[in-house]
Structure 1
Amino acid sequence: MLALQGGRPRAVLAGVLWPESAEGRGSDSLRESLWTVNHQAPGLLQDDARIVALADGVDVDADRIRKHVSGARTARSGPQRLRLLGLLRDAGLLSGWYEDWVLTEQDCWLRLRLGALEGLAMEFLEAGETALATDAAQCAVDIDPWRESALGLLLRSHLASGDHVRVIRLYEAFAVRLRSEYGVAPSPRLSALVAPVAGRRPGWAPVLTGRPADHRPADAAIAARR
């Protein structure tokens, strides 16, 4: 929590980390935890009577990734883009943790990671690096298979590399899953992306039929169903 949110008052830490404990018991648990950390990792914490924080100079990988993500796109060099892609590829946050405060952090981190991967895919596409664009877009799709913006970038990457068969297969598989799980169709924008190559197949038509709600972007329709 200190690494992700910065220094926190003792009372806040006790309340969030031991939400089901009585106030006194939560404070006792915090004191025990601080004692353990200070003995196992001396110098890791700054701890006074009220605020607990990480010591100055402690390196936090999440901060490092945020710094790379926030850098101006136009100022990023090829090696910097590659480094960021490597950082983002396996940058899950506290996997297997299910406390409420962790779930909130994971949601924020997921959105940051997806946005950064999509931005990288676009940068690679603009630079003509289609293989790396495909890699970045695929990472985003793997994280959230229902995210149309990520799938759209993956389709664009395959289109740029001339892999039209894969484009059609990816689109049709997504359309089938979307219809089966949520009863909606891909957005017209996604279908239009595929139409120039898929339309060459006899009898092909974009999957746009169904209830009126089907014509909303899939991301919005899925969110509404949830």
Structure 2
Amino acid sequence: MTTLQISLFGTLKCFYDDRLLELDARKAQELLCYLLLHPTQQHEREKLATLLWLDKSAPHSKKYLRQALWQLQTALDIGPTCPPLLLVDHQHIGIHPAADYWLDVAVFEQAFFAVEKQSGQQLEEKQVEMLQSVLPLYTADLLDGWYTDWSIYARERYQTMYLSLLDKLTEYLEVHHQYAAAIAYAESMLQYDRARERTHRQLMRLHYLTGHRTAALHQYDACVAALDEELSVPPAQSTVALYEEICADQFSLPGRKSDSTPTKGKDPTNLPRTTLHELQQIRSTLSALQNQVTQLIYHLEQR
């Protein structure tokens, strides 16, 4: 049974047999967190020293690394019965491949990759239960309050994963008519990105489907305000179209029967509004993904 438990969401916390391990030195904390976020690599000491002490000379940064490593090893000295967490030699420092520990971000990441290539509609019930059990691990952003380049990049990466999982669950719950739970997850997404237009549209639909037409219209107003304040852009045509459908009480879920059925060979512009709405949603999703990729490339280039 794993008795060493480490959490990186929010603030760093290390427990051994339910006892909090004291690790007060900030640089020792940074060293541990960086190693845990890259557990399969053995890192050169020189590169670690440069990463953690950018403003120091090489001799000084190497000295400070030795001090931080000693502080870290002292804090993690929890007896001979526990395999060492760190693998250390004269040139490299890393996580020991045989180390026995539990790490919240590792569990979270494993869940993300298990469903990464599936849409919310494709999730199976067991996968939904797994995600619902894992999401509470994300108590706050990764290493909240740290502003080193590497921690900011990692924080944004895990936040993107978190929003993706929330989005998948929201989509699954909407399709399965569990609207109240879907609303809760969608509102959680807006706490992290209030200008997330796709989520505003989800909430507009969900409020309308629960019989709260006024709430759906208010959600549109909130979307318009957020887009203007955060990005200085108007809502997408798909958002406006959804708003107009709700205003006219003409919104229906994609897949429901429509009065007009497309006929083979007809002009594609005559497709029913439900099909048009789906395509507009796909376009918006692709645009959001493109923005995320652009941001990730930017941060990688700055490293």
The match for 2:103 among 45, 60, 82 is: 60
Aligned to 2:102, the other structure's residue is in SS state coil
1:139 aligns with 2:139: no
| 1:97-149 deviations in Å (ceiling 9; x for gaps) | 01111111112122111111111111111222111111111111111101112
Mapped partners of 1:38, 1:61: distance in 2? 21
Does the 8 A contact of 1:9 with 1:52 survive in 2?
A: yes
Aligned to 1:145, the other structure's residue is in SS state coil
| 1:42-86 deviations in Å (ceiling 9; x for gaps) | 233221222212232222211100111222353442532421342
Letter in 1 for 2:73: N
Using the TM superposition, give the Cα deviation of residue 3 of structure 1 relative to its aligned residue in structure 2, in angstroms: 1.2
Aligned to 1:53, the other structure's residue is in SS state strand
Q: Flag the structure with larger Rg.
A: 2
C-alpha spacing 1:163/1:87, structure 2 compared with 1 (3 Å):
farther
Using the TM superposition, give the Cα deviation of residue 31 of structure 1 relative to its aligned residue in structure 2, in angstroms: 0.5
The match for 1:45 among 79, 86, 93 is: 86
Q: How many residues align?
A: 207
Other-structure match for 2:136: 86
Other-structure match for 2:47: 12
Mapped partners of 2:230, 2:194: distance in 1? 12
The match for 2:146 among 87, 97, 105 is: 97
Does the 8 A contact of 1:118 with 1:153 survive in 2?
A: no
The match for 1:178 among 227, 248, 254 is: 227
Other-structure match for 1:150: 199
- The structure in which a higher percent of residues are helix is 1
C-alpha spacing 1:125/1:85, structure 2 compared with 1 (3 Å):
farther
Aligned to 1:71, the other structure's residue is in SS state helix
Q: TM-score, normalised by structure 1?
A: 0.81
Mapped partners of 2:124, 2:94: distance in 1? 33
Runs of 5+ consecutive residues of structure 1 not aligned to the other structure: 201-215
Letter in 2 for 1:69: F
Q: Which of the pair has the greater relative contact order for Cα pairs under 8 Å at 6+ separation?
A: 2
1:70 aligns with 2:105: no
| 1:148-201 deviations in Å (ceiling 9; x for gaps) | 12222222322332221111101112213433554421111112222222246x
Mapped partners of 2:227, 2:161: distance in 1? 24
- Give RMSD over aligned pairs: 2.6
Identity of aligned residues (%): 23
1:193 aligns with 2:252: no
Mapped partners of 1:104, 1:81: distance in 2? 23
Q: TM-score, normalised by structure 2?
A: 0.62
Other-structure match for 1:169: 218
